[in-house]
Amino acid sequence: MSVEGKFLSKEISELFWKENLTLATAESCTAGNVAAAITAVAGTSHFFKGGIIAYSNEVKENLLGVSHETLETYGAVSEETVIEMVKGAMKSMNSDCAIATSGIAGPTGGTPDKPVGTIWIAAGCKDKVITLKIEGDEGRNKNIANATQNALRLLRNLFQNEENEQ
């Protein structure tokens, strides 16, 4: 994990302790890397409920409640899908907040509309969800690392946005 990743994980841990909130993850292309980054900080068992690695659409539908229509209409790599993944993770794991990732890490699987390196991320807390789309193929390992770090950053930004709105 990068230095920034370690800093973000520590900052997230402190935020969740301070706010007394719980967190879950729903990961496709990052395959548990976001959960691993979060739990690399001691004491996360106080707030981290767990994660679902939803590589297949079947798991997205059955465990996270992503609608079949969403997957058919927009695809697994879409803003609509990660929003439903976040909401499904919060519901299925009874958590206050969640992070979700879905994308094409590569080296294959891309299309002209969604090339390798296209990744959607969502972070949500209670009724608020924010999303981020990242693009650009830097190779499978780098794509996963970038998605993981951006997911942590997005979750932190969700809290910063709430603080600025108050």
100 — pLDDT class (breaks 50, 70, 90)? very high
Give the model's pLDDT for residue 161.
Answer: 63
Give the model's pLDDT for residue 164.
Answer: 43
CATH number of the domain within which 102 lies: 3.90.950.20
pLDDT tens digit sequence for 58-75: 999 999 999 999 999 999
Residue that is written with structure tokens 């981290």 in the block: 48
Provide the 8-state DSSP code for 124: E
Count the domains in the chain.
1
Mean pLDDT over 14-35 rounds to 96
Query: Distance between CA atoms of 97 and 125, rounded to whole angstroms?
Result: 4
Decide if pLDDT at 145 tops 90: yes
The whole-chain average pLDDT of the chain stands at: 94
70: Cβ–Cβ under 8 A, 6 or more apart, which residues? Answer: 78, 80, 81, 84
Decide if pLDDT at 32 tops 90: yes
Between residues 43 and 163, the one the model is more confident about:
43
Domain encompassing residue 45? 3-165
Token pair for 51: 């994660």
pLDDT tens digit sequence for 102-132: 999 999 999 999 999 999 999 999 999 999 9
Cα angle 34, 83, 86 (rounded to 5 degrees) comes to: 45
Query: Distance between CA atoms of 162 and 60, rounded to whole angstroms?
Result: 28
Give the model's pLDDT for residue 18.
Answer: 92
DSSP readout, 50-75? EEEE--SHHHHHHHH---HHHHHHH-
Percentage of the chain lying above the pLDDT 90 cut? 90
CA dist list (Å): 33 to 9, 37, 100, 143, 162: 12, 6, 11, 12, 26
Give the model's pLDDT for residue 166.
Answer: 40
Query: Distance between CA atoms of 102 and 17, rounded to whole angstroms?
Result: 27
